[in-house]
Chains A and B, each alone.
Chain A
């Protein structure tokens, strides 16, 4: 070192050492509590066992994948029973439905938990609504990198999904640190303890800001066209492993427009589209919160889905 500059008191080493120890302590606590933070975390942390169990189940093995819509909308036991009744054959059903996920997450999730373990179902049923399948769906990098990526596909994930250096760095830290990766959940645990109105207010402000952002976007530019590269990639993965894929546009209180480009992408990759947007007999009362299916809706949708798959029996996957 030459003419420069800064000095470094020995005491500051101690300060930094204590801060590093504090970080490790926070991280340890975060890791200890990660599997029980909430229902969703419990579900995600159980993926390895779920997949392991699936590998021991009888054929045909059906994996039902999606987010909270599928979690609330499909009753696995009922589905298995109705399918068995309709086909006089047995099958096994596994449900993987991490909340708030979409096509981007499902790609990495499938790679990490199924492809890397070389364990595949015979059939995959993916449930979604309009905004879950386009590439433009909001990126949740912390969650993606922490829970759905492995060391093997992390690099691809950061390169393909990280739109900036900062996003890539966030993904990298999130993958290795539970504090980073589960930060929003910790915030939603700590803040309401101090600020009881936290959840309700954050939701309200997010709503107000979303409306404002949409208004500004509508004024400023025409929205970018929707693309389906990730949807195609997921279907390619299924096809490469001989997994028969069903894509199910799910019911909502109002019938929604399904982008013909998405339907085209699904058909062109040999997957089957089961259009469940309008199920006979389903009414708005089947959606107690205006978005997810409730008990009655779940029964109707599950039965509909089981019948649709029964029509296609036997459900053997196609060859890679």
Chain B
């Protein structure tokens, strides 16, 4: 039941129709049931995992509230929550990766051939998102930053709230829990903002991401005899816009439908391809994950408090684990390492880049340079294997860069389908307001939505694709 399916919108119409006639308590019960139905539509068996995570963390938080703050007992309760949540992740997401990698290592180092024991379990949709969300709750209670929820059903809704259950944003308890526990009051502009987010989200997913996916999938599936290095470059650019449109689209729709239910989720993206440095990028891309990694990993590791080399170590470790969070595969590990290296390499120049306010040309140049560095990372992220990464690199570096019809098609598609969205983002960037369109004359919105409607109706993808982040 993806956001770009008719079934989801029927489901949502039914849910919001009932929601609006219920009192606060009833709304919460309805949303909890709806969230379980929503998740169960993928695989009802994995509802047990969400329920387990919910019950354990609710119970642990209750015990943490009773235990002296940061005492040994509190640490033990916190450790239990971390063990259960990471244990679920370890079994369902990483077990097979680690056993097969270990077997490969044994063979490479000692020539010993071992048949790895694998579970071959299906990866539950959105497992990394909800485990991180619920984990942050117990850690926040342990730190005394959040008061424990007193009602299991309210907490269950915090864990399973359907708009952000399978692909985020990874909400923090201090933001989302109060909105669940306390009655939601009507807020002026929620409908307007929600509509804006839904329209831009659907546009980003269907018009940009799915059409870019077609190009990118073709280029990544093509054998070397069929395409050249320039086609590979365009394929990677297409992926850059696919993953952005896909993930921004999901997050925007999640925020939009939540706003229509009176719940304000955090913004997960802020024009990421206008970043000029890695730290700038991570303040704009998947903000809920990057801030999670900062607060629960980077800072506890010491952050930048231990000198230059310790800071580099912490950055590398944080990004390595961030890479692994995305997927159990060496390509993701390498992507994380690459992001860590970028952060380390840019660190001495961060201040200078940040202060580089004047000179449009220099800003454009540094943005373009960094966008291309991000795209190199996307190659690791998208590739099926490291050997495919190698093939792409060799083809790209040894190409004669003669233009091909496929490359022209890819570039023109990016310009035609994603270009207007990027221009719109330049406008947003200049206004320094993600919701600027909701604050201008209604005629502009009407024109923009009519354009979006036209593009949605005419430029349906040749083949539909699932949301990329569901697999994480």
Residues of A participating in the B interface, judged by any CB pair closer than 8 Å: 1-9, 11-12, 14-15, 18-19, 22-23, 26, 164-166, 169-170, 179-180, 183-184, 186-187, 190-191, 194-198, 200-202, 204-206, 208-209, 211-212
Contacts and interface: CB of A to CB of B under 8 A. Distances in A.
B186 A5 contact: yes
Interface of B: 5-7, 10, 19-24, 27, 183-192, 194-195, 214-215, 217-218, 221-222, 226, 259-262, 405-406, 408-410, 412-413, 416, 442-443, 445-447, 449-450, 453-454, 457-460, 462-463
B458 A186 contact: yes
A6 B190 contact: yes
B466 to A, nearest CB: 13
Given A179-B457, A205-B214, A15 B191 contact: no
Nearest to B199: A19
Nearest to B461: A187
A217 to B, nearest CB: 14
B10 A3 contact: no
Given A197-B408, A209-B218, 20 more contacts: A4-B20, A4-B27, A7-B191, A12-B191, A12-B192, A15-B445, A18-B446, A19-B446, A23-B453, A165-B6, A165-B7, A183-B457, A183-B460, A187-B460, A197-B412, A202-B214, A202-B409, A202-B462, A206-B218, A211-B221
Contacts of A190: 458-459
Contacts of B218: 204-206, 208-209
B221 A200 contact: no
B405 A200 contact: yes
B442 A15 contact: yes
Contact of B457 (A11, A180, A200, A206): A180
A23 B222 CA distance: 38
A5 B260 contact: yes
22 contacts: A3-B184, A4-B184, A4-B262, A6-B190, A7-B189, A7-B190, A7-B191, A18-B450, A19-B450, A19-B453, A26-B457, A164-B7, A165-B5, A180-B457, A187-B460, A195-B408, A196-B412, A200-B409, A201-B409, A204-B218, A205-B406, A212-B217
B107 to A, nearest CB: 23
A169 B10 CA distance: 10
B261 A208 contact: no
A314 B376 CA distance: 72
Contacts of A198: 409
Given A1-B20, A2-B23, A7 B405 contact: no
B20 A5 contact: yes
A210 B437 CA distance: 41
A150 to B, nearest CB: 22
Given A183-B460, A198-B409, A212-B221, A7 B446 contact: no
A196 B462 CA distance: 17
Contacts of B412: 194-197
Contacts of A166: 5-7
Contacts of A191: 459
Contacts of A19: 446, 449-450, 453
Contacts of B189: 7, 9
A198 B405 CA distance: 9
Contact of B449 (A15, A205, A209): A15
